[in-house]
Amino acid sequence: MTTSIRRSPRTATRAAVAVAIAVGSTTALTGTAAAHTNGDAVTVAPLVKGLYQSSYSERNNVLWTTSAVGRPPVVSSSLLKVDAKTLKVKQTITPPVTDAATGALEAVYGVAVDDEHNTVWTTNTRNNTVAVYSQRTGKHLATLPNVNHAREIVVDERHDTVWASAFTDGTLVAFDSRTLKEKKRVTVAGSGPTGLTVNEKTGTAYAADLNGDQVIEVTARSAAPRLIPAGDGPISIALSRNGRTAYTANQTGGDVSVIDLRKGRVTKSVPTGAGALSVAADDRTGNLVVVNRTAADATVVDPRRGTVVRTVATGANPNHVTIADGTAYVVDKSGTGLDGADQLHRFRVTR
């Protein structure tokens, strides 16, 4: 999920709950290089090889990140629990083995936190599944099948729903976050849903359709999805705080689209950089952060004025951004950290 954190009152009450780090099936990562801050006031910390996405837990004040290295059989993959303040790894969780002969793991790629149920969900793209882990213990709770090329995942805590995008099927799949059972499946023929976001007030889910240059909107009551034009190659999506505007990072266009959801049209297109790959919205300022993979930077955008506020240099191949409480967290796939590790970058959306 690539939006600012919008937690329910119940979750906010639990944010200060202390969490014990379990031992047993999980191990702590040792030898991680210390974080450092550069001249742009960006704190950088090397984590592990193969970083993909991150998601912030307000309840536990940690950042969950995923990593996977190589093509199948993938034998190196981990779900990391990272201290949001120090950027040090508190816990390393290895996904279950799926093939004892090769040592292949149920490798993790997309990630989203459910603070209401104290779980973390992942997409296991190579295995066409999604998985659920305990935030408290790191225990693998379930693997849920039939999400072909599962790419991203987003949690709607208010409606106890988790949405996953099945890219090759053109499908959005909804699960019950309490029972862990599938409860809805919506397919748009020929589409390629990638990034996801949800309006927790209404329960409406939105997906960026990379194949169709559009946004797929699925409401709780609609019989069929609504299709809304977007930019060129939309791959990630975020919502404004009031839920009236969507923003897509357009990989082909190298820009971000500002979309009026009521009118169903793009109102602004703001160039951000080559290979725009991920977008998140800051609820405090209304600004956006767009990660530009080819340009190797992150762009802060004022969507109301349609202007670039700031450009922040990152490592090569930045891959994903999460915003929490006015702070942006960007993971890269640069391989420039200790022992070839990819890096986590942290900076304030406004200086």
63-112, pLDDT tens digit by residue? 999 999 999 999 999 999 999 999 999 999 999 999 999 999 999 999 99
Q: Please state, in angstroms and rounded to a whole number, the distance separating the CA atoms of residues 77 and 166.
A: 21
**HSE (CB half, 13 Å, CA atoms) of 76?**
8
Of all residues in the chain, what percent are helix, strand and coil, respectively (each to 5)?
Answer: 5, 50, 45
Q: What whole-number distance in Å separates Cα of residue 117 and Cα of residue 121? A: 11
- Calculate mean pLDDT across residues 151-179: 98
Residue with tokens 């009031």: 242
Reported as a single tens digit per residue, the pLDDT across 261-273 is 999 999 999 999 9
Query: What pLDDT band is residue 288 in, cutting at 50, 70 and 90?
Result: very high
pLDDT at 14 over 60: no
The reply to whether the predicted model has a pTM over 0.75 is: yes
- How far are the Cα atoms of 3, 58, 157, 210, 279 from residue 116, in angstroms, in the given order? 17, 10, 6, 31, 24
- Whether a cis peptide bond, with omega within 30° of 0, leads into 193 is no
Residue 39: predicted pLDDT: 56
pLDDT band, very low/low/confident/very high, at 310 (cuts 50, 70, 90): very high
